[in-house]
Amino acid sequence: MTMIEAGPPGEIRIAPSILSADFGQLGLDVKEVDPETDWLHVDVMDGHFVPNVSLGPPVVKSLRRYSDRFFDCHLMMTDPGRYLEDFRTVGANGCSVHVEVGHTAGLIDDMRSLGLRVGLAANPDTPFHEVAPFLGDIDLLLLMTVFPGFAGQSFIEDVLEKVEIARREIERNDLSLDLEVDGGIDVLTATRAVRAGANVLVAGSAIFGQSEPLLAASALRAAAYDGLQ
Ligand code: DX5
Ligand code: ZN
């Protein structure tokens, strides 16, 4: 088990999503963006909760040889509880489970007892009140800005209002929690998401889909900081 820290909650973090990297040279792609990124966002899709299938624990295990970043594993799975321990064992640092799959309180307890940083994710059409009861028990709220399943989709603007509501609730209750957005994040939407209250920005296409991923990551970071002005 690795002792890699996420860092203090609330700071701007760029989390490249490996879904848009070249899986034939994943380790190299991940290393390339390392100097301009903070976490590594690992999208796990089970072909059931979402229509797509991506990767599982063996890939995370291999990636550990190429990166000492915080592995932020986004579990788009109907039954994430079955795999939490496996992901932890191979080097996941944080996992996010979707509130839509239910059993949320139990999954939070399971993640906590495995020593994982605890994330809760919500689809674009899931209302804030479904995640609100868990805010005090989690380390990260992941608000999806596309419907999960595929990289390269367009940012859903309506979610910005939910980001604003979440940030207000976090502050009102004096919670230390990261607020992550995922889907359609680029230099324009990054600024808007940070302005609305997000601090962790996941980006696939806007980093690995670019001809110069390292420069693209650096531009995204600058765009994120613009949102704090
Ligand atoms: C979507 C995934 C995202 C995705 C983001 O299901 O959860 O992490 O890879 O890709 P972009 O940034 O291309 O929307
Ligand atoms: Zn994701």
pLDDT digits (tens, 9 = 90+) for 129-157: 999 999 999 999 999 999 999 999 999 99
What is the per-residue pLDDT for 6?
95
- Residue 69 resides in a domain: yes
Percent of the chain past pLDDT 90, that is, above it, reads 98
46 has catalytic annotation: no
Provide the number of structural domains found in the chain.
1
Quote the ligand 2 centre to 171 CA distance (angstroms): 25
Quote the ligand 1 centre to 64 CA distance (angstroms): 21
Q: Which element (helix H / strand E) includes 31?
A: helix 26-33
What CATH number corresponds to the domain at position 80?
3.20.20.70
Mean pLDDT score of the chain: 97
- Residue 3 resides in a domain: no
pLDDT of 2 above 70: no
Residue of 43, 110, 139, 186 marked catalytic: 43
Instruction: Estimate the crossing angle of helix 187-196 against helix 213-226, to 10 degrees.
Output: 30
pLDDT of 3 above 90: no
- Residue 220 resides in a domain: yes
79 has catalytic annotation: no
Cβ burial, residue 85 (10 Å; 0-12/13-18/19+): middle
pLDDT band for position 1 (cuts 50, 70, 90): very low
Quote the ligand 2 centre to 173 CA distance (angstroms): 27
- Give 173-222 pLDDT, tens digit per residue: 999 999 999 999 999 999 999 999 999 999 999 999 999 999 999 999 99
Q: Mean per-residue pLDDT for 89-114? A: 98
Which DSSP category does 132 fall into? Answer: G
- Residue 8 resides in a domain: no
Q: Which residues have a beta carbon within 5 Å of ligand 2, which is an ion? A: 43, 74, 182
pTM flag (> 0.85): yes
- Residue 74 resides in a domain: yes
Contact between 125 and 162 (Cβ < 8 Å): no
- Give 59-85 pLDDT, tens digit per residue: 999 999 999 999 999 999 999 999 999
- Residue 131 resides in a domain: yes
Of all protein residues, the one whose alpha carbon is nearest to atom 10 of ligand 1 is 151
- Residue 175 resides in a domain: yes
- Residue 1 resides in a domain: no
pLDDT of 25 above 60: yes
* Full residue range of the structural domain in which residue 128 is found: 13-226
Q: How far apart are CA 104 and CA 109, in angstroms?
A: 9
